[in-house]
Amino acid sequence: MVKIIDVHDVRTLVEKVGIRPFLTQLIATTEDDFGQWQRFTKYPRHATHYEQGVIELMPIANDAHYAFKYVNGHPRNPESGLLTVMATGQLSDAVNGYPLMISEMTLLTAFRTAATSALAAKYLAKSPARSLALIGTGAQAEFQALAFDAQFGLDVIRYFDVDPEAMEKFARNLEGFGIRLQACSSTREAIEGVDIITTATASKRKTHILEDSWIQPGVHINGIGGDCPGKTELDPATVRRAKVVIEFLDQTLLEGEIQNIGPDAVYGELWEIVTGAKPGRVSDDEVTLFDSVGFALEDYSVLRYVYELAQKHGIGRDADLVPETEDPKDLFVTLTRRTQDETGRSSDERAGAQEALV
C-alpha cells in the first residue's frame, strides 16, 4: 500500500504538531540531511521552459530512499486565479523500488523553502538576529516569517510589496501569531537597519530589488526569488562583495544570482557550512548572502519528515497503487481475480471476470 497525503492531511498534521514546532523540527531534519550530503546521489533539476513558465522534475537518492518532486513555476498564473507554484512529490524505498508515499507538495514546498532559509541564516546571520525585512509578500511570505521567528524569536518583521493587497493579506494571515509587523512604503524603508533581508518576488526578469548602496554592513540576505535562467533580484555589486553560500553549484549557476557573475562569486555550498568544512559568518560586519534556488535534498527532508509524522499519527490513506499477486511473474491474474473486499465473493471465483475480459 502507498500512503497518500493530500492538502487536508498536511493541514491536519500541522494542526496536531503546531506550526512553529513543525517548522522547528523541519529545520532540524533539513540540517541533518545537509550534514549527510556526501551520502546522496544528486542531480540538477530537469527543467522544461515555456514562454509562460517552467515545469521541473527534482530527483535525489540515498541508500534508503529515492525521492522526486514535480513542480511548476508560472509567474502569471495569479492573473487567472491560479497558484504561481504547484507541486506533488513521491518518496520510495530504494531497496525494492516500491513507492512509500505520494504527497501534495505545494504547501510542503513552502515549508521546506522557509526551513532551509532559516537553516542558512542560523549559520550566516549575525547573533543575535532580531529583525527581518520581507520584500515580497506573496505565497511564500508567511512561511518565511514563521520559520525565521521559530529560529530566532524576532522582535519585528518589516515588509513591503508593490501589491498593497498582498501586504494586507500577509498582515491578516499573521494575526494572532504574536509577531510585531511593520508595513513599509518602500523596499529601502523596509530594509533600513534590519539584521536579515528576504527577497521573494515572482517577476521573471533581471531586476534590482535591492541596490548595493542600500546594503549595510552585517546584514544577511536570503535571496529566494532567483529561480530560473534570466531571473535575478540583486545588484551584481552586492553579490560580488557578499559571502555567497548556495545549495548546489551546478544548479545555482543556471538559476541563481550568481548566473550574472559565475562560480568565482561562491564562497561555499550550504552543506559545507553545516558540517563545519567552512565557517559561516566570522564577523559582525560581513555581508552574507544565501543564494537559494531550492534543491531536491530539501524536498527529501520534508517528504521523509511528513512520512514519519503520517505513520505516527495515522494520517493519510493507503492506496492500492501497486498490484499484489501470489506469483510475481503472474501480473495478468490481477485483471481476472477479485478479492473478497472488492466483490464480496471468494477470490477463487474468477470465471465471470475472465469471460468479461474475453
Report the mean per-residue pLDDT for the chain.
Answer: 92
The pLDDT value given to residue 29: 98
Selected residue with higher pLDDT from 339 and 177: 177
pTM of the entire predicted model: 0.91
Amino acid at 128: P
Domain membership flag for residue 237 = yes
Catalytic residue flag (residue 227):
yes
Specify the range with the lowest mean pLDDT, choosing from 95-99, 143-147, 253-257. Answer: 253-257
Amino acid at 248: F
pLDDT surpasses 70 at 227: no
Domain membership flag for residue 215 = yes
Domain membership flag for residue 17 = no
Between strands 65-73 and 87-93, the pairing is antiparallel
Which residues, at least 6 apart from 30, have a Cβ–Cβ distance to it below 8 Å? 112, 115, 116, 119, 297, 298, 301, 302
Three-state DSSP class for 103?
Answer: strand
Distance, CA of 63 to CA of 54 (rounded, Å): 30
Between strands 87-93 and 99-104, the pairing is antiparallel
Angle, CA 46 vertex, CA 83 and CA 9 arms, to 5°: 45
Mean pLDDT of 296-313: 98
The pLDDT value given to residue 346: 45
Q: Domain of 149?
A: 120-294
Using CB atoms within 10 Å of the CB of residue 82, give its burial: 0 to 12 exposed, 13 to 18 middle, 19+ buried.
exposed
Which residues, at least 6 apart from 50, have a Cβ–Cβ distance to it below 8 Å? none
The pLDDT value given to residue 160: 98
The pLDDT value given to residue 347: 44
- Using pLDDT thresholds of 50, 70 and 90, give the confidence band for residue 98: very high
Mean pLDDT of 313-332: 94
Which residues, at least 6 apart from 54, have a Cβ–Cβ distance to it below 8 Å? 47, 48, 72, 73, 74, 228
Domain membership flag for residue 69 = no
Query: From the DSSP assignment, how many helices (H) and strands (E) are in the chain?
Result: 13, 18
Domain membership flag for residue 264 = yes
Using CB atoms within 10 Å of the CB of residue 185, give its burial: 0 to 12 exposed, 13 to 18 middle, 19+ buried.
exposed
Unique residue bearing C-alpha cell 518589516: 158
Domain membership flag for residue 98 = no
Amino acid at 169: K
pLDDT digits (tens, 9 = 90+) for 130-152: 999 999 999 999 999 999 999 99
Unique residue bearing C-alpha cell 503520517: 310
Mean pLDDT of 224-246: 85
The answer to whether the CB of 45 falls within 8 A of the CB of 57 is yes
Domain membership flag for residue 68 = no
Residue 196 is placed in which grid cell? 536579515
Pick the catalytic residue: 149, 227, 291, 299? 227
Domain membership flag for residue 357 = no
Question: Where residue 232 sits, what CATH number does that domain have?
Answer: 3.40.50.720
Number of domains in the chain: 1
Give alpha helix (H) positions in the chain.
7-17, 19-35, 106-124, 141-152, 164-173, 187-191, 236-241, 249-255, 270-275, 296-313, 333-336, 340-343, 351-357
Range picked from 42-46, 74-78, 182-186 for highest mean pLDDT: 182-186
21: cis peptide before it, omega within 30°?
A: no
